[in-house]
Amino acid sequence: MGRKAGSNGQRTAAAIRRVGLRLIYRRGFEAMSLRELAAEVGIQAASLYNHIRTKQDLLFDLIREHMEALLAQTDAALGAAPAAVSERLYAFITHHILYHLEKKQEVFIANFELRALEPSHYATIVAMRRAYEGRLIALLDAGVAAGEFEIRDTRVTAYAILAMLTGACTWYKPEGRLTKAEVVELHTHMVLHGCIGRLPGAADPRSTRPAGVRTA
């Protein structure tokens, strides 16, 4: 495939990331070669080094950009949500699921190629993942403090919630019987009703939900 007429550095750099993401997702980081990447982009292999230093740097940049987008968009979703903890948790769940269903390649690579990162890159990404997990843990802690949630261990609960929500990426199919909105609804129902425990004197949790949240 020949180089496209009129291409420039910015477009080529974007193409390298886009094609690199697809090839790593399809073939795995170790199996993907820079020669293959260059051929798919339509440039000479030597020209790749005008845009990336190494294959390792490309992987790191792809995962880092994914985590930066996830953190920024999550903060925006939480900032736009009502003040009630249950509403903020609803916003977190909704954004997490929709983002992960729409970014399946990025999510897969961030989870399964994390081990391929060199130590300094690995530490950077793990710190970003901890920051993301911290958003959810803080919500659960706030819900417990406000008496809205009954949770024995908010950290373990956060890990369980994230595993369940992210797991939708592995089975959801756009052509399947559930829409994205229905997937969100089912998961928010499970999470919210799992967190809203039966405190002494509290109403039945099956009748307790934030405004605008329909039960599945």
CA distance 158 to 143: 12
Which has the higher per-residue pLDDT, 197 or 54? 54
Amino acid at 145: A
CA distance 143 to 171: 30
Q: From the CB of residue 4, how many other CB atoms can be counted at a distance below 10 Å?
A: 12
CB 73 within 8 A of CB 99: yes
Instruction: Kindly indicate the confidence band of residue 202, based on its pLDDT and cuts at 50, 70 and 90.
Output: very low
Q: Fold for domain 1-52?
A: Arc Repressor Mutant, subunit A (1.10.10)
What is residue 197's predicted lDDT score, i.e. its pLDDT? 60
- Mean of pLDDT values over 38-56: 91
Which are the contacts of 64, defined by CB distance < 8 A and separation ≥ 6? Answer: 124, 125, 128
pLDDT in tens, 119-133: 999 999 999 999 999
**Among candidate residues 212, 97, 193, the one with its CA nearest the CA of residue 148:** 193
What is residue 6's predicted lDDT score, i.e. its pLDDT? 44
The structural domains of the chain, with segments of one domain joined by +, span 1-52, 55-207
pLDDT in tens, 160-192: 999 999 988 888 888 889 899 999 899 988 898
CB 30 within 8 A of CB 117: no
**Is the pLDDT confidence value at 72 over 50?**
yes
What is residue 7's predicted lDDT score, i.e. its pLDDT? 52
Which has the higher per-residue pLDDT, 5 or 165? 165
CB 38 within 8 A of CB 58: no
CB 7 within 8 A of CB 48: no
Of 76-80, 139-143, 179-183, the poorest mean pLDDT is in 179-183
CATH architecture of 55-207: Orthogonal Bundle (1.10)
- Mean of pLDDT values over 45-56: 91
Task: Give ∠ CA 113-114-116 in degrees, rounded to 5.
Answer: 70
CB 118 within 8 A of CB 56: yes
